[in-house]
Amino acid sequence: MCGSFCTLKNSVNSLKELRSDGHNITPIMSEIVFKSDTRFYACEDLKKEVTEICQNKIIDSVVTAEPIGPKKLFDVLVVCPCTGNTLAKIANGITDTSVTMAVKAHLRNKKPVVLAIATNDALAASAKNIGLLLNTKNIYFVPFAQDDPANKNNSLISDFNLLKETIDCALDGRQIQPILKK
């Protein structure tokens, strides 16, 4: 989970759905999400809810994320929500947060990473990073669309309802289609 604070509730709902389907989930939170109270969530409430859903301890630092690769901990890694900042770091190999280290560590095993983007600058500064990652092996995107074209014309958000299907496709080595929603 990254700091697209307004979409954290969508992410929590996705966790509930995946968990109810029997998936074992280890939550990973960026340091900013782990420490920040926002108008959408008090961080302690978010951490408690996520821990209760997942029944696993939250990975919340570069140090605790690093073993993901060497220990081959996961079949798939999902970044939901994935901010423009995190997109840029993943696209450019920067591993200075728990989430970016988790992605780097997981990719070393040539396993799928699913990105559920939610960023106000997707069709501006982040567009080049989306383009790079669309062409990166083992990176898959949850289908996305403009969420408010009239007021936020550069903003994109993934359709969180398609997360499970995207994960299934990614585990089969396929990008769910269509990736661009109307």
Residues 47-85: tens digit of each pLDDT: 999 999 999 999 999 999 999 999 999 999 999 999 999
Give the residue-averaged pLDDT of 153-177. 96
**Tokens matching residue 11:** 């992410």
- 152-163 tens-digit pLDDT: 999 999 999 999
Identify the pLDDT of residue 5.
83
Query: 130 lies in a domain?
Result: yes
Q: What is the CATH number of the domain that holds 110?
A: 3.40.50.1950
Could you tell me the CA-to-CA distances from 69 to 77, 101, 109, 114, 180 in Å, in that order?
11, 9, 6, 16, 31
Give the residue-averaged pLDDT of 93-117. 97
Q: Backbone dihedral region of 88: left (phi > 0), alpha (psi from -120 to 50 degrees) or beta?
A: alpha
**146 contacts 180 by C-beta, under 8 angstroms:** no
Please list, in sequence order, all residues whose beta carbon lies within 8 angstroms of the beta carbon of residue 126, skipping any fewer than 6 positions away.
84, 87, 88, 119
Query: 180 lies in a domain?
Result: no
**8 contacts 41 by C-beta, under 8 angstroms:** yes
Q: Following CA atoms 148, 152, 156, 161 in sequence, which dihedral angle do they give, to the nearest 10 degrees? A: -30
Identify the pLDDT of residue 68.
97
Query: 47 lies in a domain?
Result: yes
Q: What is the pTM for the complete model shown? A: 0.94
Query: 147 lies in a domain?
Result: yes
Amino acid of residue 47: K
Identify the pLDDT of residue 105.
97
Query: Pairing between strand 144-146 and 156-158?
Result: antiparallel
- The CA distance from 11 to 17, in Å, is 10
**Bigger pLDDT: 181 or 77?**
77
pLDDT band at 7 (very low <50, low <70, confident <90, very high): confident
Number of domains in the chain: 1
Range of the structural domain that residue 123 is part of: 5-171
Q: In the predicted model, is pLDDT for residue 182 greater than 80?
A: no
Query: 182 lies in a domain?
Result: no
Q: In the predicted model, is pLDDT for residue 181 greater than 90?
A: no
Query: 177 lies in a domain?
Result: no
